[in-house]
Amino acid sequence: LTVRAGSYAEELVKTAKTIASPGRGILAMDESNATCGKRLASIGLENTEANRQAYRTLLVTVPSLGDYVSGAILFEETLYQSTTDGKKMVDVLVEQKIVPGIKVDKGLVPLAGSNDESWCQGLDGLASRTAAYYQQGARFAKWRTVVSIPNGPSALAVKEAAWGLARYAAISQDNGLVPIVEPEILLDGEHGIDRTFEVAQKVWAEVFFYMAENNVMFEGILLKPSMVTPGAECKDRATPEQVAEYTLKLLHRRIPPAVPGIMFLSGGQSEVEATLNLNAMNQSANPWHVSFSYARALQNTCLKTWGGRPENVNAAQEALLIRAKANSLAQLGKYTG
């Protein structure tokens, strides 16, 4: 553990191991205000701070959530927010034995000189922001950049995505936050699963090349990949066994066993599909903890059940717990439906 990460090296390894603990995964609840607004609109609610607070209070206070969830990713507003009962959201999570995390990227903008692709902003001021987030109780971070298959991806877009992730990872580790490294390969497109595999190999090769160049300590990171699937508009669908076979083959070829945890995003898969795919990947013994970091695949039914009505809070919390338990079983390879 002599590779950089300075005084935080031991703590980073410990944090990453805690998050990657058996039967647990991450609840992604870090929707930006714009994305949260879309979710609230889908149940007829206005995008106000009070409504966001009510919804996030519901999520963090689910009884015994910590049995299945080891980390929760927050948007900056939530990191500094209290529940509707006036307790710090961060304190509620810690009492639940859930590690608080923070989305630190500043979102996607067009990448000049590319094929209509995007790049992820947020490196300016990141050192001071991550230091402040640590003071506020965050112990891990997320940076989501995307790669589009229908638009290329161009060599430029892949290099930019990989370099940005590597700089972010180094800066986060310097300030005590375990970086979740997330180059999301978007589901959009008509391409088949072999094309997704080919692109994913290229992307992960570059991400690890630049992380090594930036002296990132691999024992103190977590990955958030997309599963290897056919494009969303591809006519040939894949079974959970095929998704698992392709995705594990990719991980074995590209991800060193020093990395403690692989926490998949759900990326538009249905709740059940995301659970079945994860379960299929845990039918073999893997060198890393293979788990979830789902937003939509954990929250969809919960949000709909709530509908913004106080009398539905318990039922909505039960809905979240059902998905969390199912994915916990899938992490252990024991989900039976």
168 part of the interface to ligand 13P, by CB under 6 A: no
Minimum separation from the CB atom of position 267 to ligand 13P (A): 4
Minimum separation from the CB atom of position 273 to ligand 13P (A): 12
Q: In whole angstroms, what is the distance from residue 139 CA to residue 246 CA?
A: 32
CB 143 within 8 A of CB 120: yes
Catalytic status, residue 103: no
267 part of the interface to ligand 13P, by CB under 6 A: yes
Work out which of 296, 305, 321, 323 binds ligand 13P, going by CB under 6 A.
296
Count of CA atoms in the C-beta half-sphere (13 A) of 291: 31
Catalytic status, residue 142: no
**In Å, how far from its chain's centre is CA 288?**
16
Strand pairing category for 261-264 and 222-223: parallel
Select which of 103, 206, 224, 271 is catalytic: 224
Task: Outline where the chain has alpha helix (H).
Answer: 9-19, 33-41, 49-60, 76-79, 89-95, 126-135, 155-174, 193-213, 240-254, 271-281, 296-306, 313-331
Which DSSP string do the residues of 271-286 spell out, in sequence order?
Answer: HHHHHHHHHHHTTS--
In the three-class reduction of DSSP (H, G, I as helix; E, B as strand; rest coil), residue 226 is classed as coil
Work out which of 12, 16, 19, 28 binds ligand 13P, going by CB under 6 A.
28
297 part of the interface to ligand 13P, by CB under 6 A: yes
295 part of the interface to ligand 13P, by CB under 6 A: yes
Per CB under 6 A, contacts with ligand 13P among 173-192 are 182
Minimum separation from the CB atom of position 97 to ligand 13P (A): 21
Kindly state the tokens that stand for 20. Answer: 């990657």
By beta-carbon proximity to ligand 13P, the closer residue of 28 and 93 is 28
Select which of 182, 206, 219, 271 is catalytic: 182
Per CB under 6 A, contacts with ligand 13P among 98-157 are 144
294 part of the interface to ligand 13P, by CB under 6 A: yes
Query: For binding to ligand 13P (CB under 6 A), which residues are involved?
Result: 28, 144, 182, 265-267, 294-297
Give catalytic residue positions. Answer: 182, 224
